[in-house]
Amino acid sequence: MGTEGENVRVIAGRYRLHERIGRGGMGVVWRATDELLGRQVAVKELTLDPSLSADEARNQRERTLREARAVARLHHPHIVVVHDVVVHDERPYIVMELIDGGSLADRVADRGPVDAREAARIGIGLLGALRRAHDAGVLHRDLKPANVLIESGTDRVVLTDFGIAQVAGATTLTENGSFVGSPEYTAPERMSGVRTGPESDLWSLGALLCAVLSGKSPFRRDSLGGILHAVVVDEIRPPAQAGPILPVVRGLLERDPQRRLDAAEAERLLREFLETGRTPRVPAVHPPTQRDLPRRALSLPLRTGPGTAAARDAAGWPVRRPGRGAVVAAALVAAMAGAGVSAAALLMRHGDGGVAPATTAPPHPSAGSGTPGPSTPGSRPGPTVTVTRTAPSAPPAGRTAPAGYRTVRDPQGFSLAVPADFTRSPQGERIFYLSPDPDQTFRLGIRLADPDPGGPLAVLRRSAAEGPSTNPGYRDGTVTGTSHRGYPAALWEFSRRGFTTAEGPRHTYDLCWQEGGRLYEVWLSAPVGKVAKAKEYFDVAVGTFTPG
């Protein structure tokens, strides 16, 4: 076959390889000469897994050739032209047009991030390429700046490296039962193995736009576990530079693929921005992105899976079913398993990798107390911000606890609905209702106190300020000014690392309000993989809470 050190070698009796011009996870790209037609080309030498048996290697080679030929049928000005697909010494090669220019990743690294107009131009070109590929039943599955070329002299945007593309109805190209792709740019549904469709490429485009605008992917972290957590769990925070095209970026980075902005609408909005210079407005009929839902109204229907509204009983309460938490957990396990890594080990070591000393009491943040609070794993402290939103409204008069819950009248002078199997555990001024499992997976806490002069917002701001010192791996903390049943309120959400290795990462919802001369605080802490069920428990608790 020849070695990398050889100056030239000829494959298929026609293509003379010269210097290597690129290397990726799927192979090596050479500058070459097509001696038959006398033109310069790029030749990609695909790597085969040396551990495969002869039959497995042959099947993989045949799949590679079949799907590469399908990609070769794609003709679009923003898709690299594939001239030929050949086999030499039992190794497949793809012969492509030679683009005189570097990758988009190199451009950003050398010259810095691009402005919003250039990002929109790049986005329009890539959307056209993706629409053409998707119409032909071809998914790219590895869209990232390194796989986009910018032609010198023309600035033409060219999508290349369909090395792990997938053709509808075919087995994944060069895939051997493991996760392939670039995690920072991979859609959450692909990580979970639930589905892969055109929407997954559009998520990758959203991450790419953020990267070229700011210099890095919004999901970049220091470890694979951190990246996976960011993609499927963390709040998505587009960079400030994305402001002029923010509706497009947010629409593409919608975790629910059925609610994700489609290619035609994304292209229309980007063209509108280029023509007017104004931030495009998404039509009112376009559904809000998932990241907007938690802070719009806590009583909004709980989503139990991609594209599905939560089932509810006759009284309107959500039915307890496996929800997004199960999808999140599946995503982390599937993706990490495909990478040959223990999901539990990575998640528990997410962030700085440390483990806090064990604690015997379920922790929770109380106003100004410095007491550890419930939450999830993490790394760096997150910022505290304040906006105004709407909290859950009180349940209609006469509404009873939903199925699977019971109404408790606590000795401390309040009542609320909790899951039927939760048990009461008073701890000083805080009252906990805990799930019955040994790890106390779900921890519902209640605190009653005298009114605070600064109101609920000041209470939770103080707790959030102490978050990094009271919660190991505190991150993504947000304090939101709101109202509850017409009373001033505040909502605090954050994540932390577990206080023990076994506890693992957790997330907390915390609502504080003042009513009838008293301050009330209700919170729910749960593992990040069970946030959907935690959100249900939290909504029911605050929706049925009755003082006195």
198-214 and 104-111 helices, crossing angle to 10°: 20
Task: Show the domains of the chain with their CATH numbers.
Answer: 9-97 (3.30.200.20), 104-292 (1.10.510.10), 349-547 (3.40.1000.10)
Ordered DSSP codes for 414-453: EEEEEETT-EEEEETTEEEEE-SSTT---EEEEEEEPPPT
Q: In angstroms, rounded to a whole number, what is the distance separating the alpha carbons of residues 542 and 530?
A: 19
Distances (CA, A) of 23 to 27, 30, 100, 530: 6, 9, 17, 40
Report helix, strand or coil for 277: coil
Q: Which of 151, 99, 104 is nearest to 123 (CA)?
A: 104
Q: In angstroms, rounded to a whole number, what is the distance separating the alpha carbons of residues 32 and 41?
A: 5
What is the pLDDT, as a whole number, of residue 207?
97
What is the pLDDT, as a whole number, of residue 23?
75
Q: In angstroms, rounded to a whole number, what is the distance separating the alpha carbons of residues 381 and 494?
A: 10
What is the pLDDT, as a whole number, of residue 367?
34
What is the pLDDT, as a whole number, of residue 353?
28
Distances (CA, A) of 199 to 140, 399, 483, 510: 11, 40, 36, 33
What is the pLDDT, as a whole number, of residue 456?
94
pLDDT tens for the chain, 548 residues long, are 334 444 568 999 999 999 998 776 567 889 999 999 999 999 988 777 777 788 877 777 776 777 677 778 888 999 988 888 888 888 888 898 999 888 999 999 999 999 999 999 999 999 999 999 998 888 888 899 999 999 999 999 999 877 554 544 443 333 434 445 688 999 998 887 666 789 999 999 999 999 999 999 999 988 888 888 889 888 888 999 999 999 999 999 999 888 899 999 999 999 999 999 998 876 543 333 332 223 222 222 223 333 333 444 433 333 333 344 444 444 454 444 444 443 333 333 333 222 232 333 333 433 333 333 333 333 333 333 333 333 433 343 334 688 899 999 999 889 999 999 999 998 877 899 999 988 788 999 999 999 999 999 999 999 999 888 878 888 888 998 888 888 999 999 999 886 666 667 889 999 999 998 899 999 999 998 888 889 999 999 999 999 97
What is the pLDDT, as a whole number, of residue 282?
67
Alpha helices for 94-154 (secondary structure H): 104-111, 116-135
Contact 513, 542 (CB under 8 A): no
Active site amino acids: 142
Q: In angstroms, rounded to a whole number, what is the distance separating the alpha carbons of residues 374 and 496?
A: 8
Residue 136 parent element (H or E): none
What is the pLDDT, as a whole number, of residue 522?
96
